[in-house]
Chain A
Amino acid sequence: MRTFWALYKKEWKDSQQLLGFLVVGITALELYGWYHFDPALIERKESAWYQIPFVIAMAVGFFAPAFLLARSFSFEWKSETHYQWFSLPVNRWITVMSKFAVALSQGIVLLLFSSGGVFQASSKDGGFTIWQVFFEKTEDLQLYQFSLFMIDIFVMFSLPVLLGLVLTLALVTAMEGVKFTVHRYRGLVALVFFGSSVYLFGRFFNSAVQILDFMGSYKPLLFLPGKGMGHSVEWASYAYPLLAIVLLMGMGLWLFEKRVDI
C-alpha cells in the first residue's frame, strides 16, 4: 500500500500542472457561457445552443482524463523514465493501476467542475438546481424527497458518467498496453486498436443488453421534485460496459505485466 501511495502521489505531481490548466480552462469556459448569454434567454429555453460552452466543458471533463492517462504512459517512454518504472521491485500492473487511479481521480475533479455548469444551465426552468441542493440547502425539500433525488441522480447520471469515464480509461490502458507491446508503428497500432474497440463495443451493445435483460431495471420515482421520469434504466446497459471495463483492464494489465518490453 505504501508503494502504491508513493506511485499515486508521483503521478499526481507529474500531471498536476496540466490538471490545473484544465480546471482553469473549464471554469473559464463556463464563465464565458454565463457572461455571454443573457440569463433571461436561458430561462426561456427557446433553444439549446446557449448550452454549448457547458457541453464543451463537460466533454473536456470527460475526455481530458483519458488524454492525461495516455500522456502519462507516453511520457514515460519519451523521457526514458520507463527504465526506472520497470526496474522498481513492484508488479507493473500495480504501477499501471496507480496511473489509472490518478486519471480517475482527476476525471472526478474535472467532472465536478464541469457538471456544475451543465446542471445550472439545464435546470433553470425547473426553478431547482443542483447548486441549491448542495450549497443553499433549500428548506422546502422534504428529507425523503432529497434522498430519492440523490439516488436518482446517482443512478441516472453519476453512474453512467462514471462508467463511461472508467470505460474510456480502461480502453486507453489497453490501448497503451498494445501500443508498447509492439516495437514498430506504435501510433498506427494504437489508433487501429482504439477504433476497432469502439466499433466492437457499439456493434454488440444491443445484443449484450438483450442477453443481460434478466438483470431487471431501475425505475426512478423522482428525478426532479414532483416530476416522475417516465422511463426506467435497464441494469444490463450498465452491466455491459462493466464487462467491457473488466476485459479491457485485464488485457491492459496483462500486457504491461507480461509483454511490454524495452
Chain B
Amino acid sequence: MMVHIQDVWKRYPGTWALRGISLDVEKGRVLGVLGENGSGKSTMLRILAGVTHPTKGSVLLDGQEVGVETKKWVAYLPEVNPFYNWMRVMEQVEFLSVFYPEWDMNKAREMVAFMGLDGDKKVGALSRGQKGRLKVACAFSWPSALVLMDEPLAGIDPPSRKKILDALFNEYRFGEQTIMMSTHMVHEVGEFIEDVIFVKAGEIALRGNADQLREERGQSLSEMFEIVAM
C-alpha cells in the first residue's frame, strides 16, 4: 500500500479541517481528491507531503511514517506558487535538484521546454499560469514514487490543461507512479482518474473506483461532485 491514512484529524484555530479520515491508496493508482474549497483536501495532501502535522491519527507512506525519508520520493505541488521570485527558472530547478537523489536534469530541461518556459527568465516575471507549469515541470522531473498535486491546473489556460494532463499521465509519467490529485475541475480530469474520493467538511463523503461509481450510480463524476457538495 502506497498511502495508509488511519483516523486522521487536523485542527486549525476554530475549526477541524479533517475529521477522522481513513484512506488506503494502492501503488501505481491515480486518485482524484474532489471537493469544494475548504473541504479539507489540501490539508490532507499537506499532511502526506509532511508540511503539516496531523493533530491525531497516523499516516504511513509505503510503510514509513511521513518524514525526511519519505520526502525523498514524494513530489508535492502545493496549491500556491512555492518558488523564489528572485531565482531564474533553471536556477530554481537546479536548487531543487540538490535535494532529490534521483533528480534527472535532462528530464527537467525537457519538462521546462515542454511547458513552454524560458529557463533564463526570473520566476517573478512569470505569469500565474507559467508558475503553475513550472510546478508541474518540477514534479515530473524525477521518478518520484508518489506525486501529490493540489489544484495543479489552477491558473493554466483551458486549451493547455488537456495537453498537459495528457502528457503527464502518459508520456512523462515515470513507470508506476502513484498520483493523488485534488481539484474541483472534475470534468477536465475525470478521464485520467482511476479511483476517487469526494471530501466534504473534513470527511470522505464518497469513495470508490471511478468507473464503478459511474456505472453503479449512472452519473458522471461532475454530477456526483455536485450532489456531494450540496
Contacts and interface: CB of A to CB of B under 8 A. Distances in A.
Contact of B99 (A83, A88, A261): A88
A84 B82 contact: yes
B8 to A, nearest CB: 14
Given A6-B98, A87-B71, A262-B46, A81 B82 contact: yes
Interface in B69-88: 69, 71-72, 74, 76, 78, 80-87
B172 interface: no
B72 A89 contact: yes
B53 interface: yes
Interface string B27-65: 000000000000000000010011111000000000000
A6 B95 contact: yes
Contacts of A79: 84-85
B13 A81 contact: no
Nearest to B70: A89
A89 B99 contact: yes
A203 interface: no
B150 to A, nearest CB: 9
Contacts of A84: 78, 82-84, 96
Contacts of A86: 49-51
Contact of A262 (B52, B83, B86, B100): B52
A52 interface: no
Contacts of A261: 52-53
B76, B83, B99, B100 interface centre (most CB from chain A within 10 Å): B99
A79 B81 CA distance: 8
A184 B51 contact: no
A93 to B, nearest CB: 11
A14 B82 contact: no
Interface residues of B, number: 28
A183 B17 CA distance: 14
Q: Is the interface of A mostly helix, strand, loop or mixed?
A: helix
A103 B98 CA distance: 22
Given A6-B98, A14-B86, A262-B46, A83 B78 contact: yes
Counting chain A residues whose Cβ lies within 8 A of the other chain, the interface size class is 20 to 34
Nearest to B124: A79
A90 interface: yes
A90 B95 CA distance: 13
B98 A83 contact: no
A71 interface: no
A90 B81 CA distance: 20
Interface string A87-100: 11111000000000
A2 interface: yes
B114 to A, nearest CB: 21
Contact of B78 (A10, A14, A87): A87
A259 B87 CA distance: 29
A213 interface: no
A42 B225 CA distance: 79
Interface of A: 2-3, 6, 10, 13-14, 79-84, 86-91, 183-184, 258-259, 261-262
23 contacts: A6-B98, A10-B84, A10-B95, A13-B87, A14-B84, A14-B86, A80-B80, A82-B51, A83-B76, A83-B82, A84-B78, A84-B83, A86-B50, A87-B71, A87-B78, A89-B69, A89-B71, A89-B72, A89-B99, A90-B68, A90-B99, A183-B12, A262-B46
Given A80-B78, A262-B52, 20 more contacts: A2-B98, A6-B95, A6-B98, A6-B99, A10-B95, A14-B84, A79-B85, A83-B80, A84-B78, A84-B82, A87-B49, A87-B51, A87-B71, A87-B74, A87-B82, A89-B68, A89-B71, A89-B72, A183-B12, A262-B46
